[in-house]
Copies of this chain bind each other. A is one copy, B any other.
Amino acid sequence: MAVSSSSSSALVLPSIASRTGISPSLPSLRFPRRTRQISLCSSSSPTPMEEEPLQAEESRSKFTDFPHVSPAHRDLMAELVSSVETRLRPDLHPCTLPPDVQFYQNPNGSALAALHVRKGLPSSPIDFIIGSWIHGSKLPPGGVDLNITTLYTYLRPSTDAPNFLIEFIQTSPLSLVLILDLPPRKDLVMHPDYLKVFYEDTQLDRHRERLMLLPEVRPYYSRSLYVRASFSPSSILVSIEANSVDRMEDIVRDHVSPVAKEMLEIWLELCACAERGEVGVDESRELARRDRVFRNKGFEIDLESSYPRLFGQEVANRVLRVLRDVILNA
């Protein structure tokens, strides 16, 4: 297949979507309590979804359709995106990607993608959030059907708090890789207090332990050692092999979904919205340096190597130019 499930591993979350996707329901309708939730991240009142510019709302709803994945998978991703956008709304600009980067495909239409990026306001600790889905149909070699859905949030070096990442890589209805983590932004060996605050006191590891109890769940190892090194010690990197589509739906709905929502909630409360106090100038400079190395390396591993193969050079160039600007020059 063009994008290997074991080499891809969303450091910076690639994403492709289809213009053909039909939106069965908006996340704002599906999760009405969430969309009205009060933001903790800003002192300003939350802006109701209805007041957003129509274009931004349309773009968002197309992205959150996730039209090529199963209902449980789609519901979870849509709810996570909705939670993030609702809680962080006062901190975020609308998505201003060009239309042909919000949705794009390869020349023969076998690979499709949606991309959704919202940058943080200058006053916000949020640098940007980025969500995507990629759908590949009968990709060579082997005619694999591929679905990758991702949500990644990046914080600014004004805070040292971890980022948030969820990614599903699916190469058949019975096989799923899940990557779910709060990737640390400091060297944990050098900073045991940081490990304690964000990973030990939050008991993040119990979520991994909970999923590992399922007989269908196995540890997953990214081929890239750099990618592995970027995760926290409580990261969830698992492959799930179910013996039926129904069982896979059960696992995603009853086990993966609550874990992902709880971990996102921890991130929202403790990392994105907490009053941890700004870090000092030297520490912020060091965080910015580490973030820059990580993003450059992630961009190289995740996107530059796979996008031309998947979408052809012309489309890849167009999308990567925009992504480079967002990720590396944010």
- Residues of A bordering B, CB below 8 Å: 187-190, 192, 195, 199-200, 205, 219, 221, 225-226, 228-230, 232-234, 289-290, 293-294, 297
Contacts and interface: CB of A to CB of B under 8 A. Distances in A.
Contacts of A192: 226, 293, 297
A289 B289 CA distance: 19
A199 B290 CA distance: 20
Contacts of A200: 225
Contact of A189 (B195, B199, B230): B230
Contacts of A195: 225-226, 229
A258 to B, nearest CB: 21
Given A195-B229, A219-B219, 9 more contacts: A188-B225, A189-B229, A189-B290, A190-B289, A190-B290, A205-B221, A205-B225, A225-B232, A225-B234
Contact of A187 (B190, B225, B234): B190
Instruction: Please state the number of chain copies in the assembly.
Output: 2
Contacts of A289: 190
Given A187-B187, A190-B290, A229 B225 contact: no
A300 to B, nearest CB: 9
Contact of A290 (B187, B225, B230, B233): B187
Contacts of A187: 187, 189-190, 290
Contacts of A221: 205
A199 B223 CA distance: 12
Contacts of A233: 225-226, 228-229
A187 B200 CA distance: 20
Nearest to A286: B190
Q: Which 9 A-B pairs have the closest CB atoms?
A: A187-B187, A228-B233, A188-B229, A225-B233, A229-B233, A219-B219, A190-B290, A192-B297, A189-B230
A297 B229 CA distance: 20
Contacts of A188: 225-226, 229
Nearest to A294: B189
Nearest to A228: B233
A7 B267 CA distance: 27
A221 B235 CA distance: 12
24 contacts: A187-B187, A187-B189, A187-B290, A188-B225, A188-B226, A189-B229, A189-B230, A189-B290, A189-B294, A189-B297, A190-B289, A190-B290, A190-B294, A192-B226, A192-B293, A192-B297, A195-B225, A195-B226, A195-B229, A199-B225, A205-B221, A225-B233, A225-B234, A229-B232
Which of A189, A226, A234, A294 has the largest count of B CB atoms less than 10 A from its CB? A189
Contacts of A189: 187, 226, 229-230, 290, 293-294, 297
Contacts of A199: 225
Nearest to A231: B233
A234 B222 CA distance: 11
Contacts of A219: 219
A290 to B, nearest CB: 5
